[in-house]
A and B are shown apart, each in its own frame.
Chain A
């Protein structure tokens, strides 16, 4: 009897992961893509020099963004099976991609709000936020992104449309 209850709970959790988790992920990706298109004219590089920099009254300034995303129950379950056999864990790849793209987008939005039109020296770091002992078993990813925002000449910013996308 107990076994059946456990099995039912497990199935419900997995179904939640399957439907809600997948729906959320798809929504998030669509949202990211939409915002990336809106930000397409921003010059984003990870160079330490300031490409196409233009003199302005506001000095360059540091932008930082952080994102913490958790995986859903089903993906976690599938990944655990994968860990037994070894190989590529696809379900975690999308998790990392989502977090990184979201973090870069947040910096871009921050920069735009403050009147900048370019970011250089983008650094992405995976942070460790721990969580309680129960959380330890569940995959979650924390990204800490930093970059320097500055003014670039407007003729240069349009050119990197494709680059901005590839970088993520």
Chain B
């Protein structure tokens, strides 16, 4: 499956548009992580726990989106976008959406 956040894919031609596919997830870290993040706030620096949280959420949201695309019989998802929202303190929603399409290899012409 080709996934891209551009409207077209270099070297491929869109043959058929299947429609919008989406995936979302709401995840939270356990309180221990929040506590460590609180401590980290004294000296600053990367909050690895929260970075991880975002990475996991993104993986899951993308997977759900791709599963939907597969169901529609698409072989690519283009123009993928991400949005996040804070549902409640300590939990984050990550929403991924894109357009499922069927692509085929094109005779290559440089952009």
Contact = CB atoms under 8 A, between A and B. Distances in A.
Interface stretch (A33-41, A56-64, A79-87, A157-165): A56-64
A21 B38 CA distance: 14
Interface string A129-163: 11111111010101010111010010000000000
A21 B43 contact: yes
* Chain A CB within 10 A, most for which of B44, B53, B111: B44
Contacts of B53: 129
Contacts of B40: 70
Given A130-B88, A131-B89, A50 B5 contact: no
Contacts of A138: 38, 41
Contact of A17 (B10, B43, B62): B43
* Chain A CB within 10 A, most for which of B12, B43, B84, B108: B43
B54 interface: yes
B37 interface: yes
Interface in B68-89: 80-89
* Chain A CB within 10 A, most for which of B42, B82, B88: B42
B21 interface: no
If over half of B's interface residues share one DSSP class (helix, strand or loop), that class is named, otherwise mixed; here it is mixed
Given A24-B45, A127-B84, A135-B41, A120 B11 contact: no
Contacts of A6: none
A151 B83 CA distance: 27
A66 B4 contact: no
A6 to B, nearest CB: 15
Q: Give the bracket for the number of chain B residues in contact with chain A.
A: 35 or more
A24 B44 contact: yes
Contacts of A25: 44
A129 B2 contact: no
Contacts of B11: 53, 55-56, 59-60
A131 B10 contact: no
Given A50-B111, A62-B3, A73-B42, 15 more contacts: A16-B42, A24-B45, A48-B6, A56-B11, A60-B6, A60-B11, A69-B46, A72-B45, A73-B43, A128-B86, A130-B86, A131-B37, A131-B89, A133-B89, A144-B82
